[in-house]
């Protein structure tokens, strides 16, 4: 197969895949998980169900893939926040705030959809990556003598993740920022 044609076909497949993911997510947000079928997704994307099944085996698989993409985008955003400042304490503060804002802004999933997404492998893998982002940041902040030394870093990471989880219940960005500041203040020496 010629290189140009392969590039065009691969690009088309990626475009169809992205349309499938976004259509499934919008249908699930509007109708709940039980209100979405493969037929609805195929119709909205403009492909046959047979073609859809070549991409994904189920609605759940589609939504899990969509969620994995969302998690990757959020992790990229947090990594950018972690890289932004020279001072480790300021980088930690920026990441805590960015994470609280992500949680606050994405907490609008329907409950059945949220349960599916947070039970999936993409959530577990994303949580590991998030821990992998926070741990070295907290170690650097501890090395700069800017966070408490009486608690091991892995426990501080767990505290941050669990305390900031409350941001999912907050209604405003200002409230999420206050929560992040409170978590940061609990870490500071």
DSSP annotation of 120 reads: S
Please state, in angstroms and rounded to a whole number, the distance separating the CA atoms of residues 22 and 7.
22
Phi and psi at residue 177, in whole multiples of 5°? -65, -40
**Confidence check: pLDDT of 109 > 60:** no
Residues 31 and 74 in one domain: no
Residues 51 and 119 in one domain: no
Residues 87 and 145 in one domain: yes
pLDDT tens per residue, range 120-162: 667 788 889 999 999 999 999 999 999 998 999 999 999 999 9
Polymer length in residues for the chain: 189
Q: What is the pTM of this model?
A: 0.77
Residues 64 and 47 in one domain: no
Give yes or no for a contact between 144 and 89, defined as CB atoms under 8 angstroms apart.
yes
Domain count, the chain: 2
Compute the average pLDDT of residues 27-56: 92
Q: Using pLDDT thresholds of 50, 70 and 90, give the confidence band for residue 110.
A: very low
Q: Using pLDDT thresholds of 50, 70 and 90, give the confidence band for residue 112.
A: low
Q: Which domain holds residue 20?
A: 1-57
Please state, in angstroms and rounded to a whole number, the distance separating the CA atoms of residues 137 and 45.
42
Residues 37 and 86 in one domain: no
Residues 117 and 32 in one domain: no
Residues 100 and 182 in one domain: yes
């Amino acid at each position: 197969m010629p290189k140009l044609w392969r590039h065009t076909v691969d690009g088309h497949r990626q475009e169809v895949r992205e349309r499938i993911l976004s259509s499934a997510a919008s249908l699930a947000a509007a109708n709940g998980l039980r209100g979405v079928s493969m037929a609805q997704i195929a119709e909205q994307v403009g492909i046959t169900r047979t073609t859809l099944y070549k991409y994904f085996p189920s609605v759940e698989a589609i939504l899990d893939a969509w969620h994995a993409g969302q998690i990757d985008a959020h992790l990229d955003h947090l990594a950018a926040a972690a890289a932004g400042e020279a001072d480790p304490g300021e980088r930690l503060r920026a990441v805590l705030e960015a994470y609280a804002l992500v949680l606050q802004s994405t907490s609008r999933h329907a409950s059945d959809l949220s349960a599916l997404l947070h039970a999936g492998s993409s959530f577990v893998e994303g949580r590991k990556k998030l821990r992998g982002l926070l741990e070295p940041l907290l170690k650097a902040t501890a090395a700069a003598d800017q966070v408490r030394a009486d608690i091991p870093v892995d426990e501080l990471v767990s505290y941050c993740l669990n305390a900031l989880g409350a941001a999912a219940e907050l209604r405003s960005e200002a409230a999420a920022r206050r929560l992040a500041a409170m978590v940061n203040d609990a870490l500071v020496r």
